[in-house]
Amino acid sequence: MNIYVNFLIISVFLINLIMLSSSRIRACIKLMALQGVLVALTPFIIPHSVATGVVIISVINIILKGMVFPWLLLRALQDANIRKEVEPVGGYPFSLLIGVAFLVMSFWLDSRLAYSIQVFSNLAVPVAFATFFTGVFIIVSRTKALTQVIGYLILENGIYFFGSILLSEQPLLVELAVLLDVFVAVFVMGIAIFHINREFDHIETNKLSELKDWIEPQEDI
Partner 1 sequence: MSMKIAQFILILMVSPFLFGVINRTKAFFAGRKGAPLFQLYYDIVKLLRKGAVYSFSTTWVFIAGPMVSLSAIIVASLIIPFAGHPSIISFDGDIILFFYLLGLARFFTCLAALDTGSSFEGMGASREVQFAVFAEPALFVSLAALARLTGKSSLAGIFGSPQIHSWVSYGPLLCLAIAALFILFLAENSRIPVDDPNTHLELTMIHEVMVLDHGGVDFAYILYGAAIKFWILGALLTGIIFKVSPYGWGVDTIIFILLMVLLAVIVGVVESTLARLRLLKVPHFLIVALSLSFVAFIISLR
Can you give the binding site for partner 1, defined by CB under 8 A? 2-3, 6-7, 9-10, 13-14, 17, 21, 92-93, 96-97, 99-100, 103-104, 107, 122-123
89: left (phi over 0), alpha (psi -120 to 50) or beta: beta
State the minimum distance, in angstroms, from the CB of residue 3 to partner 1.
5
Q: For residue 122, how many other CB atoms are within 10 A of its CB?
A: 12
State the minimum distance, in angstroms, from the CB of residue 100 to partner 1.
5
State the minimum distance, in angstroms, from the CB of residue 22 to partner 1.
11
- Cβ contacts of 160 within 8 Å, gap of 6 or more: 39, 40, 61
Q: CB–CB of 20/137 below 8 Å?
A: yes
State the minimum distance, in angstroms, from the CB of residue 93 to partner 1.
4
Closer of 87 and 201 to partner 1 (Cβ) = 87
Residue (of 85, 70, 8) closest to 44 by Cα position: 8
Closer of 6 and 168 to partner 1 (Cβ) = 6
Closer of 98 and 139 to partner 1 (Cβ) = 98
Closer of 92 and 183 to partner 1 (Cβ) = 92
Q: CB–CB of 37/164 below 8 Å?
A: no
